[in-house]
Amino acid sequence: MSQRYQAVVFDLDGVITDTAHFHFLAWRELAQSLGLPFDEAFNEKLKGIDRMGSLALILAQGSQQYGDAEKLALADQKNAHYQELIKTMSAEHLLPGALETLIAVRDAGLKIGLASVSKNAAFVLDRLGISDRFDYVVDAALIQRGKPDPEIFLNAAEHLGVAPAACLGVEDAVAGVRSIKAAGMYAVGVGDPAVLTEADDVIPSLRDFKLSRYLTA
């Protein structure tokens, strides 16, 4: 028996769990210590942006120039604080429908991958208690180009041993949807269809993920 899709590759933050608030707390403390403005609206711009890219956006709010070593130290400081915060995570931090979706996808015989630019993704999966539900988790440290570049989703497909055209990608960010499409996968957006206009399908949350709808298409 053959079916069109053989794997589903998920983004983590905003799809399976919501770590944005923890990133917000950690970045805000760093920004404030540097005398730079930081609020929830600014934090929105950092979703899906990797650690050094996020730091660059925050530092661009001020006029001071920082050398590479200083920037690395600032990023390490933020990350140490973030890691303290995410130690408090548990299965209660799974977004509605996330666990049910992972179970349904595996029960249907499809492989499951994770494509997150977070270098803390494996730790977060562990805290959520779902590490063993993934066949492959991309190591963000090995990814050269962030989303919207297709590299991270292509890396997932390759390691799952499934052609990109036989993969569904699931994302909540515009750059993430673009990355999925550039990889040649079917893009399921999670969020607002008016925002995720490039997705092939958009659902409000994983509570509404119906695998059969894609398998029979």
Active site residues: 11, 13
Neighbouring C-alpha atoms within 13 Å toward the C-beta of 169: 36
Q: At what angle do helices 51-59 and 68-86 cross, to 10 degrees?
A: 110
Q: Is residue 13 close enough to count as binding Mg ion by CB under 5 A?
A: yes
Alpha carbon distance 84, 80 (integer Å): 6
The radius of gyration computed from the CA coordinates of the chain, to the nearest angstrom, equals 18
Binder of ligand BG6 out of 6, 17, 101, 116 (CB under 6 A) = 116
Q: Is residue 118 close enough to count as binding ligand BG6 by CB under 6 A?
A: yes
Beta strands in 31-139 (DSSP E): 111-114, 136-137
172 binds, among ligand BG6, Mg ion, none (CB under 5 to 8 A by kind): Mg ion
Alpha carbon distance 161, 113 (integer Å): 11
Q: Is residue 50 close enough to count as binding Mg ion by CB under 5 A?
A: no
For CA atoms 64, 85, 98, 129, the dihedral sign is: positive
Provide the token pair at 62.
Answer: 């001020």
Binder of ligand BG6 out of 28, 47, 147, 181 (CB under 6 A) = 47
Angle CA 145–86–27, to nearest 5: 60
Alpha carbon distance 138, 155 (integer Å): 7
State which residue, 101 or 120, has the beta carbon closest to ligand BG6. Answer: 120
Binder of ligand BG6 out of 6, 23, 74, 148 (CB under 6 A) = 23
201 binds, among Mg ion, ligand BG6, none (CB under 5 to 8 A by kind): none
- Phi–psi pair at 46, nearest 5 degrees: -95, -10
State which residue, 119 or 159, has the beta carbon closest to ligand BG6. Answer: 119
Q: Is residue 171 close enough to count as binding ligand BG6 by CB under 6 A?
A: no
Q: Is residue 6 close enough to count as binding ligand BG6 by CB under 6 A?
A: no
The contact mask relative to Mg ion for 152-181 (x = CB under 5 A, - = no) is --------------------xx--------
Positions in the binding site for ligand BG6 (CB under 6 A): 13, 23, 46-51, 54, 79, 116-120
**Which stretches of the chain bind Mg ion, using CB under 5 A?**
11, 13-14, 172-173
